[in-house]
Amino acid sequence: MPKTGFIGLGAMGRPMASNLARKGFPLVVHDLRREPVEALIALGASPGNGVAGVAQAAETVITMLPDAPDVAAAILGAGGVLENLKPGGLLIDMSTVDPATTDKLAAAAAAKGIGFVDAPVGRLVAHAEQGKSLFMVGGTAADVARARPMLEAMGDTIHHCGPAGAGTRTKLVNNYLAIFSCMMNAEALALAAAFKLDLKTTLDVIYGTTAVNGQNKINWPNKVLKGDTSPGFRIALAHKDATLITEAAAKAGVPMFVGAAARECLGQAMRTGDFGGRDFSALLDYVCAQAGVAPPRL
């Protein structure tokens, strides 16, 4: 197995890296916080001496970072991955960023003789913990083949979406539906609460019609509807992704009528109290708070 570097041990990155460690990949890791690094050391990983140390020690480097500036600094910046990863190495970026950033990473990696794959992640933190993530992958057939053993150790579904950048673009399409359906669910169930409807009966009706979606049937019963709004995918990150989506759509000439409105709602929620740090299913609680009704619970 190639020695693998992993940079970014957040809500998704930590379980991803943990799966690699448990499945025997020689692993060197780095995060700005010490606690997740120590958790990976307990699983057999080695701590990297910063981003540069990870890249110098590894043949393949995986990055999973919050936003484009973080990704650019870690990979393209002084002392970053591309300055320190040997030619012939492989870079796998699993972050959700704008397409222009991914295209820039791919070009910079190619100029250094380094393979590049963009592999943003679908599904939830619970799936990452179980090794059941879905990956939307962009890259050459050869680079994707090199990345596949690591991806298979972290997930159970891999879609090769096309050349470098195709994974990132597919993720924006996917997150458009995932995030904005969450916003619509919040308004619909807040309305049900204001009407004083029985939540279980209302959900039974929704689940039996075309109104059903993965958020209200799979995610919400395990999160906000049972009172758990601890962050899996934070509202602040949902707002970040909504911004990426609407800006990328504008560049592509595609109007985002619903998307633009939902992005503004996410922005308002993010700036209200502690909602920005809560799970994006907590949009239900935010809308209920605005409406002055008690948030429904199963």
Tell me which H or E stretch contains 63. Answer: strand 60-63
The residue annotated as part of the active site, out of 86, 112, 171, 223, is: 171
Task: Name the residue type at position 281.
Answer: S
- 30-39: long-range contacts, CB 8 A cutoff, minimum separation 24: 30/5, 30/6, 30/54, 31/7, 33/9, 36/9, 36/10, 37/9, 39/9, 39/14
d(C-alpha 298, C-alpha 295), whole Å? 10
Return the structure tokens found at 248.
């990328």
d(C-alpha 167, C-alpha 158), whole Å? 11
d(C-alpha 121, C-alpha 206), whole Å? 28
Return the structure tokens found at 192.
């049900």
Catalytic (active site) residue 171: yes
Any idea which residues carry the catalytic annotation?
171
